[in-house]
């Protein structure tokens, strides 16, 4: 296993951290999911279309699941793009100040392994929080009768966007350093 991923998992996925982040994820996900699901499934039939000549409130779980799907994608984006990217940026800055980043550049690992270590090791807790939202998202897909390809494309878009957003701190540091070497 990649040593940077192993280090990130050991630091970020300790039992105390797992309980705190797990509870935060479950509570926030369940609250947002249920609020958007129940709000989206309530539909009012106008008085002129109802049998009793009064407005009626009917439940449509398909609409609720479709509304909750969007809310859950935003929550997943928050976990990965803001929390995960912030973690990578802050640790990269801390290691640069402490001189550990230069030390890791001299290790015999190839650059691709180092990048994978930073991308999947440092935000390990954020990936755990993302995984907690997946059962709720699966429920939305089943109840909302989403086509699997549509759901996969939406989730794939947010995952790819967070992946490339996480690359930004590392690539900007590399670009600034190499820019000075080429023009010097």
In terms of average pLDDT, the best of 36-45, 49-58, 81-90 is: 81-90
- For residue 24, the model assigns a pLDDT of 95
- For residue 179, the model assigns a pLDDT of 56
Q: Check the CA dihedral 22-124-132-33 and report its sign.
A: positive
* Res 33 pLDDT > 80: yes
The stretch 95-120 carries a mean pLDDT of 79
Alpha helix (H) residue ranges in the chain: 3-12, 15-41, 61-77, 85-98, 100-105, 111-121, 124-143, 148-183
- For residue 167, the model assigns a pLDDT of 63
Confidence at 129, pLDDT banded by 50, 70, 90:
very high
In terms of average pLDDT, the best of 20-29, 79-88, 95-104, 133-142 is: 20-29
Q: CA-to-CA distance for 76 and 130, rounded, in angstroms?
A: 6
- For residue 154, the model assigns a pLDDT of 60
Q: Which residue has the tokens 């039992």?
A: 15
**Based on C-alpha coordinates, what's the Rg of the chain?**
22
Confidence at 183, pLDDT banded by 50, 70, 90:
very low
- For residue 160, the model assigns a pLDDT of 65
All structural domains of the chain with their residue ranges: 3-165
The stretch 150-159 carries a mean pLDDT of 60
Q: Which residue has the tokens 């935060």?
A: 24
* Res 182 pLDDT > 50: no
Confidence at 133, pLDDT banded by 50, 70, 90:
very high
pTM of the entire predicted model: 0.74
- For residue 42, the model assigns a pLDDT of 79
* Res 1 pLDDT > 90: no
- Of residues 108 and 165, more confidently modeled: 108
């Amino acid at each position: 296993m990649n040593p940077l991923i192993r280090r990130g998992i050991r630091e970020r996925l300790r039992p105390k951290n797992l309980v705190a982040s797990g509870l935060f994820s479950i509570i926030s996900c369940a609250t947002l999911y249920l609020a958007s699901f129940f709000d989206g499934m309530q539909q009012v039939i106008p008085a002129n279309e109802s049998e009793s000549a009064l407005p009626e409130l009917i439940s449509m779980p398909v609409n609720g699941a479709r509304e909750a799907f969007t809310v859950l994608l935003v929550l997943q984006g928050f976990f990965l793009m803001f929390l995960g990217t912030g973690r990578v940026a802050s640790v990269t800055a801390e290691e640069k100040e402490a001189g550990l980043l230069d030390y890791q550049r001299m290790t015999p690992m190839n650059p691709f392994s180092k990048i994978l270590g930073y991308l999947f090791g440092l935000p390990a807790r954020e990936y755990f929080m993302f995984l907690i939202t997946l059962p709720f998202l699966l429920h939305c897909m089943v109840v909302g009768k989403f086509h699997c390809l549509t759901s996969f494309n939406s989730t794939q878009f947010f995952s790819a966007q967070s992946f490339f957003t996480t690359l930004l701190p590392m690539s900007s540091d590399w670009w600034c350093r190499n820019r000075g070497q080429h023009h010097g």
